[in-house]
Amino acid sequence: MSVANYCEQGSGSGTDMATAVMRPFGSSNSIAHNLNKNLHPISTFDSSKLNSFYKTKRRFRFVCSAPQSVPNLVGSEEGVCLSIGSHVIPHPDKVEKGGEDAFLVSGYGGGVIAVADGVSGWAEKDVNPALFSRELMANASSLVEDEEVNYDPRNLIRKAHAATSSIGSATAVVAMLERNGILKIANVGDCGVRVLRKGQVVFSTSAQEHYFDCPYQLSSEPISQTFLDATVTTVELMEEDTVVMGSDGLFDNVFDRDIVFIINSCNSVAEAAKALANLAHNHSKDSSFDSPYSQEARAQGFDVPWWKKIMGMKLTGGKLDDITVIVGQVKSSLSS
């Protein structure tokens, strides 16, 4: 099935929202944050670029069908702000419970976005891994305008973590856009951010790991990472730049080159978020796909037995996981 079909069908019905919202629950729907009806699309899709861009034997096409929804300019003051779309697809085995990712979108300042990924290992101790990530994001949402946070992503992680009483742990990333175009990012673990400009990735966060597949994480346990362990970065953005934020379910299954192509192929941020999530979901179920996750696993010494290597085989496949995608495009708040 092509990505165009995934965009139309997805794993559940899309939901357009009239205002920016905090979503503490995982679900298979798109959110277009809708305030300004005169925004320009990211780009117009040109199907002639498909074959020349993605030269593999796979039959999946990076095509997006335009939904009847318009993205929102988050914020109302002079300067720049984010037009935001989002999409979530839970792990196939966790659909009924909504998955273990959580995220927030806030209209404060130039826009605040964040993703938390609940650590699934807690299920072995009869703890719902989603509770910690959901509460963490709910607390972050309520603290965005706090004076002590001072519009600082690391401070927001500090206060949200301190206020979270649920048992569990989660990786987390927070990004806050100032009106002057400065994007401030704090990241603990392997959620991530990409910044795209004129068809290229110009900034990428790096995953924090103790060892392969064991990321840094905020936790209810006294021995864990804290806000002090967060990688803090600032990026100067320009109008029309695109910010892609996601849980590791996105970046483990989709290469940066495909993120760029999807962004350039879609007519809105909501469309792009949905297409990226669907592509990641598709790759996660494909045992023959040589994913970013499988490539990193091989680089870390995980591979098929030697006798399979002699036969020319190697470790491949995507990683089944919850997938959360937030796409934000930088716009002037005076756009009309």
- pLDDT tens per residue across span 273-308: 999 999 999 999 999 999 999 999 999 999 989 888
Cα–chain center distance at 215: 16
- pTM for this entry: 0.80
Task: For 56-111, write each residue's pLDDT tens digit.
Answer: 323 232 333 223 233 455 544 679 999 999 999 999 999 999 999 999 999 999 99
Please tell me the distance from the alpha carbon of residue 313 to that of residue 305, in angstroms, as a whole number. 9
Other CB atoms closer than 10 Å to residue 55's CB: what's the count? 7
- Do 68 and 172 sit in the same domain of this protein? yes
Mean pLDDT value of segment 34-54: 32
- Do 196 and 249 sit in the same domain of this protein? yes
pLDDT of amino acid 335: 59
pLDDT of amino acid 176: 98
* Structural domain span for residue 34: 3-285+320-332
List the CATH number of the domain containing 104: 3.60.40.10
pLDDT of amino acid 313: 85
| Count of domains forming the chain | 2
Helix (H, G, I), strand (E, B) or coil at 270: helix
**Confidence at 113, pLDDT banded by 50, 70, 90:** very high
Q: Are 175 and 153 in contact (CB under 8 A)?
A: yes
Which residues lie across from 106 on neighbouring strands?
112
- Do 303 and 238 sit in the same domain of this protein? no
Say what the alpha-carbon torsion angle 60, 66, 67, 70 is, to the nearest 10 degrees: 130
Please tell me the distance from the alpha carbon of residue 162 to that of residue 144, in angstroms, as a whole number. 14
Cα-only R_g, the chain: 19
Counting every residue written for the chain, the total comes to 336
Q: Are 245 and 326 in contact (CB under 8 A)?
A: yes
- Do 267 and 306 sit in the same domain of this protein? no
- Do 315 and 328 sit in the same domain of this protein? no
- Do 261 and 307 sit in the same domain of this protein? no
Q: Are 175 and 138 in contact (CB under 8 A)?
A: no
Look at residues 22, 157, 156 and name the one whose alpha carbon lies nearest to residue 86: 22
pLDDT of amino acid 147: 97
Q: Does position 131 have pLDDT exceeding 50, yes or no?
A: yes
Do strands 182-188 and 231-236 pair parallel, antiparallel, or not at all (unpaired)?
antiparallel
- Do 174 and 304 sit in the same domain of this protein? no
Please tell me the distance from the alpha carbon of residue 189 to that of residue 214, in angstroms, as a whole number. 9
Helices 129-143 and 153-163 sit at what angle, rounded to 10 degrees?
130
Other CB atoms closer than 10 Å to residue 78's CB: what's the count? 10
pLDDT of amino acid 77: 65
pLDDT of amino acid 165: 98
Choose the weakest-confidence range: 41-50, 126-135, 172-181, 309-318: 41-50
The sign one gets for the Cα dihedral 171, 74, 328, 177 is: negative
Helix (H, G, I), strand (E, B) or coil at 197: strand
- Do 191 and 314 sit in the same domain of this protein? no
- Do 165 and 270 sit in the same domain of this protein? yes
- Do 268 and 306 sit in the same domain of this protein? no
Mean pLDDT value of segment 30-48: 34
DSSP per-residue string spanning 230-264: -EEEEEE--TT-EEEEE-HHHHTTS-HHHHHHHHH
Mean pLDDT value of segment 149-174: 98
pLDDT of amino acid 26: 35
pLDDT of amino acid 14: 33
Mean of pLDDT over the chain = 82
CA contacts within 13 A on the Cβ side of 186:
21
The sign one gets for the Cα dihedral 203, 209, 211, 214 is: negative
Say what the alpha-carbon torsion angle 191, 193, 199, 201 is, to the nearest 10 degrees: -90
Q: Does position 122 have pLDDT exceeding 70, yes or no?
A: yes
pLDDT of amino acid 251: 98
Task: For 186-242, write each residue's pLDDT tens digit.
Answer: 999 999 999 999 999 999 999 999 999 999 999 999 989 999 999 999 999 999 999
- Do 35 and 117 sit in the same domain of this protein? yes
- Do 248 and 278 sit in the same domain of this protein? yes
Task: For 242-265, write each residue's pLDDT tens digit.
Answer: 999 999 999 999 999 999 999 999
> Which residues 6+ apart lie within 8 Å of 127 measured at CB?
167, 168
E strands, the chain, where? 22-23, 30-32, 72-74, 80-89, 101-106, 112-118, 169-177, 182-188, 192-197, 200-204, 209-211, 214-215, 218-219, 231-236, 242-246, 323-332
